[in-house]
Chains A and B, each alone.
Chain A
Amino acid sequence: MPIVTPGKRPAKRFEKSRILGGKMGRGHKSLNAELNVVPMVDMMTMLVIFLLQQFSSTGEVLYMQKDIKLPDAQHGQMIEVAPVVAISAQQVVVTGVKVADIPDLDRDSGYLNIPALEERLRDEKKRWEFIHKVDPDSKWDGVVNIQADKAVPFRIVKRVMYSCGVAGYFNVNFAALDAGSTAAAGVAEKPAG
């Protein structure tokens, strides 16, 4: 049933009548209000353009964490999907699971490997092999992303890299903030004046 203007209206059979049909509407002000939606369409178009610029087909591989401040890099490449080893000042996390505490790693500095990290990465590798066992064309590339806080010393990064290598992940990607986006953020955060 169509939506009609509230109030008195002629009966259905008089609707088309020239004499009776227009009688009741006489003198009434139209209740329809026209809304100018052009500014809204303009705004939405601009929003779509802005969001399209932010769009990434690979999605968010690395998530920014509070306790990890990444360094800047100007010549980085696009990040690719791979297991992520996050190293903060307190702990080492692999794909969301904590595998080691940094103070513990500092304490047993005589060893180079991190057994829990190796085990976790081996599990990841097994999972990859299981998924790709019916696909003979896929070749193991051993890529792992390391996302570390800029203040983390190399002795920790070295141990993580060694463990990755032992687990079969020999292609290491160091994560860094793209310097272009950092510059843009810096301009945005700069106070006026």
Chain B
Amino acid sequence: MGGGAMPEQGGGGGKRKKKALDAVINVVPAIDLLSCCISFLLFTAVWTQISRLQVQQLGTGAPEPQITEQQKTLMVTLAMGERGFNLSTSSGTTLDIPILGRGSAGELRFDLKLLGEKLKQLKGDYPDTSSITVSAEDTVSYGDLVQVIDACVGSGLPAVSVTGV
């Protein structure tokens, strides 16, 4: 118990028997402690890491998000539907990003990569902008909506408002 090889007992020429240098460590309390830890951690372990994407909803009596003067300078709206994305700003810029096609089950395949690039470009042009309004059609799936919100947050626009068309 406690591992460790026996140290060599000198050259063998000594007459007096040397005292062993090994110390036996009692590992039973350590095993008890580890067992308790394992039991507790097994009960409290979270196996699926779920995250959240916070959004504001418009038009339901909710308090309006506080908008500073700088943010007021540019309002960004992203409309998403069966034809793809339409990114427009209050400065008059409008950009259409068509869908890539449909998947095997008929689901829409949005061009999220291009959207991310355009949003990053927009953020680069207007660094003070932090809010965006996502306007989705009824047929858009929850998965696509979440991915678009994720792209917005990843591009530096964390204040996302969601509304219907």
Contacts and interface: CB of A to CB of B under 8 A. Distances in A.
Interface string B124-165: 000000000000111111110111011001100000001010
A76 B1 CA distance: 48
B34 interface: yes
B89 interface: no
Interface string A3-36: 0000000000000000000000000000000111
A81 B154 CA distance: 24
A77 B31 CA distance: 37
A36 B4 CA distance: 11
Q: Size class of B's contact patch?
A: 35 or more
A176 B37 CA distance: 30
Nearest to A52: B41
B66 interface: no
A83 B11 CA distance: 75
A153 B164 CA distance: 12
Interface string B93-135: 0000000000000010000000000000000000000000000
Contacts of B71: none
A104 to B, nearest CB: 17
A140 to B, nearest CB: 11
Contacts, number: 178
B49 A154 contact: no
A60 to B, nearest CB: 5
A54 B46 contact: yes
A80 interface: yes
A180 B49 contact: yes
A44 B32 CA distance: 10
Contacts of A152: 141-142
Contact of A153 (B31, B53, B140, B153): B140
A137 B162 CA distance: 30
B52 interface: yes
Nearest to B158: A75
Interface of A: 34-38, 40-41, 44-45, 47-48, 51-52, 54-56, 59-62, 64, 70-80, 87, 142, 145, 147-155, 157-158, 161-162, 164-166, 170-178, 180-181
